[in-house]
Amino acid sequence: MRVKVARRYQVTIPEEVREEVGINIGDIVDVRSQDGKVVVEKLGKNWESVMEETRGMWKTHPIFKDMKDSIEIVDWLRQKQRKA
């Protein structure tokens, strides 16, 4: 499905896609580039609780020990991948 990028780089997710994926107003989505494509992924309703559960899980890891949660770890890994 084609959509036009509007002013301020906004796009509207078509109704058919929203319904198929179950995206509603207020939902959180992850936007990233992957293999030259823009990927928009709906995050689960329990995303915040999952992040809270992982907080401190990496405290003995030599690299991840100073990172506060899994989001910070994933962001760090994505930056390393882009540089490679």
Same domain, 39 and 51: no
Averaged pLDDT score across all residues of the chain:
85
Q: Rounded to whole angstroms, how far apart are CA atoms 58 and 62?
A: 9
DSSP-assigned beta bridge partners for residue 67? none
pLDDT by residue (tens digit) across 55-74?
Answer: 777 788 888 888 877 778 88
pTM over 0.75: no
**For the chain, what is the domain count?**
2
Give CA angle at 70 (69, 74), nearest 5°: 130
Q: Please report which confidence band the pLDDT of residue 54 belongs to, taking 50, 70 and 90 as the band edges.
A: confident
Q: Tens digits of per-residue pLDDT, 11-24?
A: 999 999 999 998 98
User: What's the domain range around 3?
Assistant: 1-43
* 38 and 13 assigned to the same domain: yes
